[in-house]
Amino acid sequence: MHSKKLYPAVVIFLLSGLLLACSTSLYVPKGNTMDSKETVGALQQGRKIYINKCGNCHTLYLPEKYNTSQWRTQTERMAEKAKLNLQEKELILRYLTKDDSSKSH
């Protein structure tokens, strides 16, 4: 009987661990690699929103997985489902496309 009660808790624990593992592999914007603290702050906000809003429903993809055009299409497509306002959508897109020069096309 105890195993049936524990099952939902175990599933939630494992899914939380999976999300945390993925989010830690996402790059973290740092001030020492950027020109402007304002830019770093915006990138950090975008990362946080990406993890919290997008990661609630599905696996997070690494920013370098897609180019700017592909990320723009995806953020437009998912914004309503994730209940993103315009500012959140722009911050996520800014974070995901910070260094588009090294992304596969």
Flag whether the pTM goes above 0.75.
Answer: no
Least confident of 14-23, 72-81, 87-96: 14-23
Kindly list the domain boundaries of the chain, sorted by start residue: 2-102
Q: What is the DSSP letter of 103?
A: S
Interval 14-60: pLDDT, tens: 555 555 444 458 878 876 555 566 689 999 999 999 999 999 888 99
Cα 46 from Cα 91, distance rounded (Å)? 4
Q: Are 50 and 96 spatial neighbours (Cβ–Cβ below 8 Å)?
A: yes
